[in-house]
Each structure stands twice: as C-alpha cells, then as structure tokens.
Chains A and B, each alone.
Chain A
Amino acid sequence: MAEPVLHRLTLDNGLRVVLAPDRSAPVVGVSVHYDVGFRSEPEGRTGFAHLFEHLMFQGSESLEKLAHFRHVQGSGGSFNGSTHPDYTDYFEVLPSAALERALFLEADRMRAPKLTQENLANQIDVVKEEIRLNVLNRPYGGFPWILLPPVLYDTFPNAHNGYGDFTDLEQATLDDCAAFFDTYYAPANAVLTVAGDIEVDHARELIEKHFGDVPARPRPERPSFAEPRPTRELRDTHVDPHAPLPALAVGYRMPDPIGELDAYLAHLVLASVLVDGDGARLQQRLVHGEPLVTDINAGAGLFGPFEARDPDTFSITAMHTPDVGVDRILGAVDEELESLAAQPPTSDELARVTARWSAMLHSEHDRLVNRTLGLGSFELLYGDPSLLHGAADRIAAVSAEQVSQAAKNLRPDSRAVLLVEPAQGGAQ
C-alpha cells in the first residue's frame, strides 16, 4: 500500500494542522489535541484535567448546552474525548458532508467555551459516576493505571490519580476552570487533525475560515516531569474489596519515548517477545508450562504505546491463585529477563513479533478514528505525524541486541511491585 500523503501547516495563531486525505470511504475524522494532561493538574486538584475535558462538551459561545452532541450526532457522526497523562483529545467521525460543521464545533469551543457553575456541578456528579463505574464498584478498578504510579514515582505529577479524589473534584471552582483554559487551551498549544474524505485545498480554506480568528495566546512553558529512577525495589499492597483473585503489577522505567525512540521501540518488541501469543516466553512458561498465573500481560505505557512523554512506564501484570507465591512469579520473570539479557532473542522470534506489530498497526489505523487520533498525537508528542505510518518499519528494524539491552534495563533493583489482595482472602 502506498503511504498516504500528509500535509502540515501552522496558522498565524500558532495552531498546528495535519491533513491526511483518503477518499476510499465518504467519511471524515476531525480531532483536536491540547498539550495538557493530568500530569499538569495542580496539587489539590487531582482529576481536574479530566473534569475539564467534560466541561468542554457543555457549550460554547454559539452553542447551548447539549448542542455539540446534537449537531455531531444529528449530522450522522459520533464524538468523544479522552484525557491522557500528557494531552487531552477531542474528536468526531462523520459523513464527509459534515466536515465544515465539525470544524465549526471545534473552533467555537477553542475560541469561547461557556464555563458555568451549573454545568461544573452537573459534570462533577457525572465524573463521580464514571469513577464509581470504572474504579470503585468493580474488581481491579484502576489496576494498574491508578495503583502502580504512586509506587513507582515520587513526585505529584507522575504519582497521583488522574481520575481524582472525590474531595478534590468537589472543590473545583469556576475560577480554576478559567485559569486552566486560559493557560493551556491556547491555539498554539493544540494540534488539529483532519483525515479521510477531504479535498486538501478546500479543507485548508475551511480551517482558516473557522480557526483563523481564534485569538493567539502564549504557548505555556512545558515543565519537565523528570525524576530519578528508583534505586531499589519498591513494594506496596492494595486491598481490593471486589477482587476474587490476587494480582500483581511490576513497573519499570523506560527510555525517553521521544528522545530515545529506538531504545523505546526495543521495549515494545521485548514486551511482545515476553507475552504476545502462546509462543511468547512468559506465556509458555508461566501460563502453560509451570503454570503459575491465569493470565499475563506486558506493555509500554499504562494506556498503550506512543501516548506519553518521559518518564514512561513499562509494566507486567498478572493474575494468579492465592496459593502461588508472588516471589515465585517475580523469580520466573527475572529469570526470563536475565536469559534475554544474556542471549538475544532468535531471528525467528523477532520475525514473528515484528509481523504481528506491523499487522496490528495496519489494522488499528484502518479505522479512521484511530488514524486521526494517531496522527494528532504523533504530531503533538513527536512533531512528526508520518511516524504513524513509519512505526512498523522502525519496529522491524529493532535488532536482537537492542531487545537484549532492553531486557537488561528492566532490573529487579529498580522497579515497583504492586500487589492486589482480595479483601476476603480470595475466591468465595
């Protein structure tokens, strides 16, 4: 397949734009990524970046409450938004006849969102329901994305709960919202992506028409979230009132996903060598061979790859029966990592892993919503949207020695281990 042509431009107000025409189906994807995520929220305001994401759907100068949803869906489209450690995205996928409408909706809330006390109170309630649904009322809620970071990291931005404590959410004020918007939601701090059934010159005109007069504001200085790696193994236990089986998460620090991309990719390949498919090393040994665990997973980033800046987390998670001691599982993981550190994976192993990565990325980007969001986040984090299409080749170029080096990097004396214990002592 020929690589799609990408067009990039920057408006006078600093808004970066990525255009990715593809006329194969009469649908378009539109997304806006703002360069602020939950790592940037202030102490005492945990969960604020996500709460604010909800408020951005609640109306703007030209759009009453509920109008955004009605206009997107009433044009045949769907929408959503999501808050990540380092960015927040908003997106729509629609029949291509609705392109200008989608641009209008995004521009209107970038220019003048209507932030009201009533909507703030309503969305605090909605977010609390979201947290009850996804964390408090279910087994393994927040495992590992909320539970592991406070063990692995020391500083507030990296360690805190991005969903937020109820007490913090309840204290959020309208003035917090105004300050957050004025600081972080500047056009110069955002990326607009338009992909799918578009004619490039026409799309450019529409973008200039709707976003051109969003007033410029300074791009905020991006803080470093760097902190030293742990110098020993850190352990903590979380008692889960709903979980029937114990689980563990092991977290390691990774190379800088942006500045050390190839070393980072070697960790993605390593994760696959360890757990992707029945032929993978930890699957064979821990799930089927010995067997010590019910299921095991490993991966880069707590939300998936290519979605955070430094520092980022490599995690291994497993669920097991209470009779299996945690140290036996950790011991087996360490042995497999030591073995890979001493003896690089075979070329067959690498061929299997890279073919799967290539297919997985193709498949993922075949969905317009994923392609749109991927282009936007690669532009935002890497300054290079073409990495979306180049990642598979970069992964295929990772050498066995680089994977071996990655395995060496995952050291037992520099990691976090989080244990989840069932409250009632196991399966009832």
Chain B
Amino acid sequence: MTVSHSPHSAQSNNHRTAEEIGRTPAGPRELPPLGQQRAADEPEHVDTVLASGLRVLAVRKPGAPMVELRMTIPFGSAVADGMHTATAEVLADTITTGTRRRDRVAIDTDLALIGGDLGTAVDPEHLSVSASSLASGLPTLLDVLADLLTEATYADHEVQREATRLVERLAVARTQPRVIAREALQKHRYGDHPYTREVPLPEDVERVTPEAVRALHPAAVLPRGSVLVLVGDIDPQSALAEVEKALGDWRSDVAATELPPLPALEGGDVLLVPRAGAVQSQIRLSAQGLPRTHERYPALQLANLTFGGYFSSRLVENIREDKGYTYGAHSGFEFTDGAAMVQVDADTASDVTAAALLETRYELGRLGLVPPTEAEVESVRQYATGALLIGSASQAGLANQLIGLASVGLGLDWLRGQPGRLAAVTTEQVAEAALEFFAPTRFTGVVVGDADLLGPQLEALGGVRIADRQL
C-alpha cells in the first residue's frame, strides 16, 4: 500500500535511504575543543540602603536603550488574617487602577509614552513589581511607581471589578494540572502554614472589601526590608538620585512583614491525589535542600544538575530519551527567604506514571550510590557557570538574577563569586551532597492523576498513600 501525498508535497521520490543519509565518505569527525573563555566585564553599580530602609541596587548594563525595574516587598502578613491571601491578591490587581494624581487610563498613558510596562504579583512571601521602559523615561517610571506606592486609591468600583475578574481567572487557574498539583503538594508538605496559601479561594475573594484593601496597603506596602533593582542603560549614581527624589515620601518606621520560617521538610509517603479523566499525571517530589548562602550549596547545585537539573541529566536521559515516558522531567530548587527545597517534577501519560515514579526513585538512589563521575561533574560545572553568564548577558536576565539574590540579602558579589565557588567543588563533595540530600527516603510528594488506573499500580509499588478527596 502506498501513502498518497498531497498536491502541495514537493518531496522527492528518489531520495536516499535513512542509512545513506547518516554517513559520508569522510566518516565521523572529531569534536573541536573549547576555546579560551573571557570573563564578563565588571558592571558599574551602586548598592545602598536609603534612609527609608529601602535597599536600592542600580547597575549600568548598556545594550538596549532600556531600563529594567524589579521590586520585592516582604508581604507575609498572612499569619493572623485568614483573608490575607485574597485581600493581597486583590490589592496586587488593583494597585495600578488609580492614584490621587492619575486614574487607570492616565497611568497606562504615562507608561506607554515612555515605552513602559508595569506589572504586579503577589505570593505568600512578597509583593513584587516588574517594570521596564526606555532608559530616558526612568524619571517618569519612578514617578508612576512612587504614585502607586504612596497614593493608590483603590476606588470601590475598581476593587469590585478586579475582584470579579480575579474570581473568573481563579476558576481557570484551578483547572490547570500544574496549579492543581502545586496546591496538593503545598498542602501535603506544609499543611496549613501560610506559605501554602498561594492562590486565594474564590469565596474569600468575593468577600474582600475596598476598605480592607485600603487598610492593607499602608500596613504592608513598606520600604523597610524591601529591595529595588534597576538594570539598564543608566548611570547608577544618577539613577540612585532619581530614586531618592521620587520615593522620598515613601516612609514608615515599621518594617515590612516577613513570613514565619517553614518547618524542616521530612521525607514520607507520596500522596496519590485523584483527578478524574486525566490523560496525564503530575509527579511532584520534594525534599529539604540548602540555601544559596550555605558553603555546601555549590556542591548540592552540581549534584542536582546531574540528577535532573538539565537536559543531559540522568533523569531526563532515562525517562524521556530512553523510555519516552515524558516530554519534560526536571529537578530544581525552590528558594524561600530562609530555606531551599529540591523539587522534582515530571508529567507522564497515565499508563506509565507508576513506572516513571519507579525510575525516578531509582535515579534518586543511584545518585548517592553510584555517584556523579568526574565527567558528569565537569559537564554540570560548565553548564552552571555558562548559565550564569548567559543569564546576566541581558538586562532583563540580570535584573531577574539580582532581584532573586537581593531578596535573600545577596547581590552582585555573590553573582561574581559563584563561578569561583563552582570551580572549587570536588567530585567527592558532589558525591557527599548526592548521598545525603538525594536519598529517596528524604523525599515526600504527590502524584495527581486518574486514581482508578494509577491506584493499584502505585499501591503495589509502595510508599504511596491514596487521598480520599476527588479533585
């Protein structure tokens, strides 16, 4: 039987075979060696704390005629107030809808004229602002930011409209498998700790009042403990002066509230969370790791990369490239202000989920027992170093790196020093970190999927508990 090709197909009928295509008369060739790598230039920068307690980090990074702005404000007021998550989310969505000087459209217009965009987001730990504009528009960008921070009005109709939209968006978010899996993992790992309250409940959002949002702002949107990062085609000293001028009125004696520390994560059974009709399952495993300030972090970072932190890792080569169980498996760090967790995730078809979990556990055990070889360590060391270089090569990339570091008290020095620390890690140190931190018994987690199909297989595999709640 022949396959009929469409009239559009230009494919030749007398092509070579696959085998003929794969070889040439000259035969295989030698991989060229790496050349000499030069280091990135040291950028001009200032890193200082203003009288208001706001830390400002401004870096000159020419390239595009742009400036990138990132800000994080500790926002961990969740402890006492069960409504905090919902109120905070509505605040983040409404803060850009009007101030005493500008209404919603005026804010957008002033930003547009400087090629600007500004977005806000909130999580259990932080309120974040991410913005950019043409570098020449920095004074306007800072003026709009100051306006939002000090004079946001939260008009009744804007709060109500944003709350309504938020409820609609939450309905969509809670049908995303990754959101479902994340909520299940948070609850399984940390119970009712405020860190787990990432996405508010719609019934709470419906109860948020404009008064509550207006009260939360002065109580929680505070400079002391917050960080502002500017990266771009700017002079750091004059940018700092612009910040001081624009944000001079943003003051408070009270410091922004940090979230209470998380309890240490302990290993335990994986929870199977049923999701009817799922054609694919989410595997999410987690264990306690080390923060970036810890002296063993570089070794742990290299162990993690070898396990599942990049494409050429043991986990990806096993469950994707060898077995075809998944499109993407990944292992990485989740950093909080005080700690770090190792996260392993993969989405797999229902019929191979149990097998994929088995292979994942096997690779966790193997990392400690058959530790990373010299060649594996060399590869991940190059990768980790290169990723830092590539990340900091763009304005937005450098701004993202710095805000992540700055919110745990680090800065450019850490970034500049990390290649050296990675270079100093020995194969033995990576093996020690692998054995200690990747032991399968240290992990807990969830599998979300079709419980009828998965249940018997996962029970047979062991170390899995089936939840009674249907999602």
A binds B: yes
User: A114: nearest residue on chain B (CB-CB)?
Assistant: B22
Complex partner residue of B37 from A26, A157, A179, A287, CB under 8 angstroms: A26
The minimal Cβ–Cβ distance linking A185 to chain B, given in whole angstroms, is 9
Q: Is the CB of A26 within 8 A of B38?
A: yes
Q: Which residues of A contact B9 (CB under 8 A)?
A: 40, 42-43
Q: Is A178's CB under 8 angstroms from B108's CB?
A: no
A245 to B312, CA, bound (A): 39
Interface string of A98-134 (1 = CB under 8 A from B): 1111001000100111111000011111111110110
Q: Is B326 an interface residue (CB 8 A)?
A: yes
8 A Cβ contacts from B386-400 to A: 386-387, 389-390, 392-397
Q: A40-B10, A115-B21 are in contact. Are A129 and B347 (CB under 8 A)?
A: yes
Tell me the minimal C-beta distance from A184 to chain B in angstroms: 8
The answer to whether residues A365 and B64 also contact, given A182-B15, A356-B117 and a CB cut-off of 8 A, is yes
Contact A183 B11 (CB under 8 A): yes
Lowest 8 CB-CB distances: which A-B pairs, in order? A76-B386, A359-B115, A125-B324, A352-B112, A182-B15, A74-B379, A97-B37, A25-B393
Check A179–B8 contact: CB distance below 8 A. Answer: no
- Given A27-B389, A277-B111, 13 other A-B residues pairs in contact with their CB atoms under 8 A: A1-B65, A25-B41, A69-B311, A77-B390, A96-B35, A97-B35, A100-B32, A114-B22, A178-B15, A242-B175, A276-B112, A363-B396, A368-B394
Q: Could you pull out 13 A-B pairs where Cβ atoms are within 8 angstroms?
A: A26-B40, A40-B8, A66-B317, A76-B383, A101-B31, A108-B29, A121-B324, A122-B322, A175-B18, A179-B11, A355-B134, A363-B395, A363-B396
Q: How far is the CA of A62 from the CA of B22 in the complex (A)?
A: 9
Known A62-B31, A355-B113, A355-B115; contact A278-B15, beta-carbon cutoff 8 A = no
> Is B4 an interface position by the 8 A CB rule?
yes
Asked if B279 and A244 make an inter-chain contact with CB atoms under 8 angstroms apart, the answer reads no
Whether, in the assembled complex, A190 has its beta carbon less than 8 Å from a beta carbon of chain B, the answer is no
Contact among A113, A244, A355, A367 for B172, CB-based, below 8 A: A244
- Whether a CB of chain B sits under 8 angstroms from the CB of A388 is no
Q: Which residue of B lies closest to A276 (CB)?
A: B112
**A84–B164 Cα gap in the complex (Å)?**
37
Q: Could you tell me the distance between the alpha carbons of A174 and B21 in the complex, rounded to whole angstroms? A: 11
Complex partner residue of B65 from A133, A179, A362, CB under 8 angstroms: A362
Q: Is the CB of B311 within 8 A of A115?
A: no
Mark A188-227 against chain B: 1 for CB-CB distance below 8 A, else 0. Answer: 0000000001000000000000000100000011010100
A77 contacts which chain B residues (CB < 8 A)? 383, 386, 390
Q: Which of A136, A242, A360 sits near B115, CB closer than 8 Å? A: A360
Q: A97-B37, A179-B11, A288-B161 are in contact. Are A74 and B27 (CB under 8 A)?
A: no
Cβ-defined partner of A74 (8 Å) among B66, B104, B177, B382: B382
Q: Are A66 and B21 in contact (CB under 8 A)?
A: no
B6 in complex: contacting residue of A43, A69, A278, A356, CB < 8 Å = A43
Are A101 and B37 neighbours in the complex by a CB distance under 8 Å?
A: no
With A126-B324, A355-B113 as contacts: A139 and B37 at CB distance below 8 Å: no
Closest chain A residue, CB of each to CB of B346: A129
Q: A44 interface residue, CB < 8 Å from B?
A: yes
Q: How many contacts between A and B, using CB within 8 angstroms?
A: 302
Q: Is B469's beta carbon under 8 Å from chain A? A: no
Interface size class of B (residues with CB under 8 A): 35 or more
Inter-chain contact B327/A129, CB cutoff 8 Å: yes
Q: How far is the CA of A136 from the CA of B327 in the complex (A)?
A: 14
**Cross-chain contact of B22 among A60, A124, A221, A225 (Cβ < 8 A):** A60
Q: Which residue of A lies closest to B109 (CB)?
A: A279
Q: Across the interface, which residues of B come within 8 angstroms of A96, CB to CB?
A: 35, 37-38
By the criterion CB–CB under 8 Å, are B390 and A93 in contact? Answer: yes
| Chain B interface residues (CB < 8 Å from chain A) | 3-6, 8-13, 15-18, 20-24, 26-41, 62-66, 96-97, 104-105, 107-109, 111-117, 132-134, 161, 165, 168-169, 171-172, 174-177, 233, 277-280, 310-312, 317, 320-328, 347-349, 378-379, 382-383, 385-387, 389-390, 392-397
In the complex the two chains form, what is the Cα distance from A97 to B39 in whole Å?
A: 11
Q: How far is the CB of B168 from chain A (nearest CB, A)?
A: 4
B280 touches A366 (CB 8 A): no
A71 contacts the other chain (Cβ, under 8 Å)? yes
Contact with B along A164-177 (1 / 0, CB 8 A): 00000000001101
The answer to whether A230 has its CB under 8 Å from any CB of chain B is no
A136 and B177 alpha carbons, distance in the complex (Å): 11
Task: Determine if A393 is an interface residue (Cβ-Cβ < 8 Å).
Answer: no
Chain A positions near chain B (C-beta within 8 angstroms):
1, 24-27, 40, 42-45, 60-62, 65-66, 69-71, 73-79, 93-101, 104, 108, 111-116, 121-130, 132-133, 136-140, 156-157, 174-175, 177-183, 197, 213, 220-221, 223, 225, 241-245, 276-279, 284, 287-288, 291, 294-295, 319, 321, 348, 351-353, 355-356, 358-360, 362-363, 365-368, 427
Query: Considering the chains assembled together, what is the distance between the CA atoms of A94 and B383 in angstroms?
Result: 9
Which residues of chain B have C-beta atoms less than 8 A from A284's C-beta?
Answer: 105
Which of the residues A40, A76, A175, A245 comes within 8 Å of B168, measured between beta carbons?
A245
A66 to B313, CA, bound (A): 10
Cross-chain contact B168 with A277 (CB below 8 angstroms): no
Q: B40 near A178 (CB under 8 angstroms)?
A: no
Q: Choose among B132, B133, B378, B389 the residue with the greatest number of A CB atoms under 10 Å from its CB.
A: B389
Residues of B within 8 A of A113 (CB): 21-22
**Chain A residues with CB below 8 A from B169, complex form:** 294-295
Q: Is A178 within 8 A of B16, CB to CB?
A: yes
Q: Is the CB of B132 within 8 A of A359?
A: yes
Contact of B10 among A129, A223, A319, A427 (CB under 8 A): A223
CB-based nearest B residue for A24: B63
Given that A73-B312, A112-B23, A279-B108 are contacting pairs, would A95 and B386 also be in contact in the complex, using a CB cutoff of 8 Å? yes
Whether the pair A95, B8 counts as a contact (CB closer than 8 A) is: no
Q: Which residues of A contact B112 (CB under 8 A)?
A: 276-277, 279, 352-353, 355-356
Assembled-state Cα–Cα distance A71/B386 (Å): 13
CB-nearest residue of chain A to B393: A25
* Closest chain A residue to B105, Cβ basis: A279
Whether A366 pairs with B63 at a CB distance below 8 angstroms is yes
- The reply to whether A76 and B385 contact each other, CB–CB distance below 8 Å, is yes
Give bound CA distance, A97 to B21, whole Å: 30
Chain A residues with CB under 8 Å of B279's CB are 132, 136-137
Find out whether the CB atom of B29 lies under 8 angstroms from the CB atom of A104: yes
Cβ A122 vs Cβ B321 within 8 A: yes
A78 and B390 contact, CB distance less than 8 A: yes
Determine if B324 and A75 form an interchain contact, defined as CB atoms under 8 angstroms apart: no
Option from A121, A137, A241, A362 in Cβ contact (under 8 Å) with B177: A137
Q: What residues of chain A lie closer than 8 Å to B3, measured between beta carbons?
A: 42, 44-45
Q: Which B residues are in CB contact (< 8 Å) with A122? A: 321-324
Which chain B residues lie closer than 8 Å to A129 at the CB level? 280, 324-327, 347-349
CB-CB < 8 A to B312: which residues of A? 66, 69-70, 73-74
B269: shortest Cβ distance to chain A, in Å? 25
A241 to chain B, nearest CB (A): 7
Contact among A124, A351, A352, A367 with B396 in the assembled complex (CB-CB below 8 Å): A367
Q: Do A183 and B113 form a contact, CB below 8 Å, given A93-B390, A97-B34? A: no
- The residue from B21, B40, B310 contacting A73, defined by CB atoms under 8 A apart: B310
Q: Of B12, B18, B116, B171, which is within 8 A of A245 by CB? A: B171
- What residues on B are CB-neighbors of A140 within 8 Å? 172
Q: Which residues of A contact B171 (CB under 8 A)?
A: 244-245, 427
Q: Which residues of A contact B38 (CB under 8 A)?
A: 26, 96, 197
Task: For B65, give the chain A residue with the smallest CB separation.
Answer: A1
